[in-house]
Structure 1
Amino acid sequence: MSTILIVIIGITVLFSFKGFNDPSFFRKFEFHIGSIRSGDQIRMITSGFLHADMGHLFFNMFTLYMFAPVVIHYFGSGSFFLIYLGSLVFGSLLTLLMHKNEYSYRAIGASGAVTGIIYSAILLQPDMMLGLFYVIPVPAYLFGIGYLLYSIYGMKAKNDNIGHTAHFGGAIGGYLITLAKEPSMILNNTLMVILLAIPILVLFGMSKAGKL
């Protein structure tokens, strides 16, 4: 396992455990629109290292552990870290943009960063198969498109506590940074690049039309 992957998982676990046992620490570093708009922008990063509970933490870190090797294999540890951190920032920025007037809005979790790694891996190896519910084999690109469409639905419905906006922002970050690092994919893997761009365009179209 890559050293940088171990470090990311280790820091996230330690930070999350501190948050589990220290409510004031949790509140200080969570994503909170009111605090961020008051100048506490560091929350846009630190919130990605906090989790709600053990299940939330395990799911994110296990998913990262499964997909990170693909990105590390193609790009190396340094670029993997860039994509991870960049996706975290993209997720936070999109969340801030979409919820800027909801001053009490709060969120935590590495989901945006992890989703960025998932979409980077899908672009790099679109023919890989994923196990839906760990049983049903599904092509990675179908999973990617379906997940983004589900995130749009979740953002519109607002009927759960999942940070769909951060997921979507992270996916956009992973998508754009990966293409910026490997622009040849636009010519060599044009269909997949277009397919994964469709939900992103749908999101911004709906946002512009005021339907989110």
Structure 2
Amino acid sequence: MEKIGIAGIILIILNTIISYKGFKNSAFLRKYAFQIDEILVHKDYKRMITSGFLHVNWIHFGFNMASLYFFSYCIESTVGIFSFLLIYFGSLIGGNLLALFIHRKHGDYSAVGASGAISGVILGAVALFKNMEVGLLFTTFGIPGWLYGLVFIIISIYGIKSQNNSIGHEAHLGGGIIGLLIAIALVPGVTAQNPIPIILVFVPSLIFLSIIFIKPDFLAVKKLLSEKPEGLLDVDDRYNIDKVTKEEELNALLDKIHNKGIHRLSKIEKERLEELSK
């Protein structure tokens, strides 16, 4: 039977409680999800962390928590609780930062899930343990850690470039690379003991990340040409549009109060008035 450490147990409990609340309350989910404009325009930076404890459904939740269960203990028992948490949260933030950069002009882009953090834990383990094998789900077979890492990176890079599904490949790649780098920083000797998986994962990732930072248009795909122009506005443009929209909405509510009295506002309108007045 697999073991699990204290940090792993706490993270699974927190993910369970917060994800369950998100399943039951869509407003709660929207309030704490990773959402580009809420982060870049409204400076709601807490979403960089809170989104990692929310999930779309029980299947999404189950896969992430199963991965955390299988991989967390080997790292936690080797580097300690604090260092394990550093890998986990560093990977979560790193994955979201890459998603933030890639989707910075897509204001309505939204995502939830612990996948970035989990990816960092998995690739951190692949880097730390030379003869590690990754078991294939529902089978007794496993593949070498270096091969898993290489396939993981290839799939993530292809997913980011093609943008043909709703999977957060950016968070996977960003989180995975940060997890690997933190693990190496914590145990520097692994670069000499376990060079193959580290090279196979890091080198193609570094090349790809260098390309998208130097030439952002590399990620442009045909389907983006059919999006509304607003989807390609920069942060300042979206901030100004949002500000004007809110001012118009507030003025409309104030006009209604002036003409009909505040008692004629609905409960939703009163809540919106309070929100806009902050």
Q: Is 2:3 the partner of 1:23? A: no
Map 1:105-144 → 2, pairs under 5 A: 105-135=109-139, 136-144=141-149
1:148 matched to which residue of 2? Answer: 153
Letter in 2 for 1:19: G
- Counterpart of 2:8 in structure 1: which amino acid? L
**Is residue 95–residue 165 contact of structure 1 (8 Å, CA) maintained in 2?**
yes
| Counterparts of 1:2 and 1:113, CA distance in 2 | 16
Task: Indicate conservation of the 8 Å contact 1:116/1:170, yes or no.
Answer: yes
CA distance in structure 2 between the partners assigned to 1:58 and 1:133 by the alignment: 12
1:147 positional shift? 0.7
> Of the two, which has the highest radius of gyration?
2
What's the % identity of the aligned pairs? 40
Could you tell me whether the CA contact under 8 Å between 2:7 and 2:76 is conserved in 1?
A: no
The 2-side partners of 1:205 and 1:40 are apart by 28
What SS is found at the alignment partner of 2:113? coil
Give the aligned partner of residue 177 of structure 2. Answer: 172
Supply the distance in 1 between the matched residues of 2:155 and 2:184 (Cα, whole angstroms).
Answer: 23
Selected match of 1:41 from 36, 45, 48: 45
Deviates more, 1:103-112 or 1:67-76: 67-76
1:160 matches 2:183: no
Residue in structure 2 matching 1:51, options 47, 55, 71: 55
1:80-109 deviation line (CA, Å, top 9, x unaligned): 111101100101111111111110000000
Q: In 1, are the aligned partners of 2:15 and 2:54 still within 8 Å (CA)?
A: yes
Does the residue aligned with 2:176 lie in a helix, a strand or coil?
helix
Q: Give the drift of 1:206.
A: 3.5
The separation in 1 between residues aligned to 2:132 and 2:156, in whole angstroms, is 22
* Aligned residue identity for 2:189: S
Aligned to 2:250: none
Task: Name the residue aligned to 2:262.
Answer: none
Choose from 102, 107, 115 the match for 1:98.
102
Which residue is equivalent to 2:240?
none
Give the partner amino acid of 1:54: W
Q: Give the CA deviation at 1:188.
A: 2.9
- Contact in 1 for aligned 2:149/2:200 (Cα 8 Å): no
1:184 aligns with 2:189: yes
Q: Are 2:20 and 1:13 aligned?
A: no
Counterparts of 2:111 and 2:104, CA distance in 1:
13
> Does structure 1 residue 62 correspond to structure 2 residue 69?
no
Which SS does the other structure have where 1:100 is aligned? coil
Residue number in structure 1 paired with 2:271: none
8 Å Cα contact 1:126/1:139 also seen in 2: no
Q: Higher relative contact order at CA 8 Å, sep ≥6: structure 1 or structure 2? A: 1
Instruction: Give the Cα separation in 2 of the matches to 1:116 and 1:13.
Output: 20
Q: Return the letter of the residue paired with 1:100.
A: R
Equivalent residue, structure 1, for 2:93: 89
Provide the TM-score with structure 1 as the length reference: 0.95
SS of residue in 2 equivalent to 1:130: strand
Aligned partners of 1:134 and 1:211: how far apart in 2?
38
- Name the counterpart of 2:79: 75
Kept in 1, the 8 Å contact 2:130–2:193? The answer is no
2:102 partner amino acid:
M
Cα deviation per residue 1:7-52 (whole Å; 9 max; x = unaligned)?
Answer: 1100111000000000110000000000001210100100000000
Instruction: Kindly provide the amino acid, as one letter, of the partner of residue 196 in structure 1.
Output: V
Please point out which of 203, 218, 227 is paired with 1:211. 218
8 A Cα contact 1:16 1:49, kept in partner: yes
* Aligned-pair CA distance for 1:70: 1.2
Is residue 87–residue 173 contact of structure 1 (8 Å, CA) maintained in 2? yes
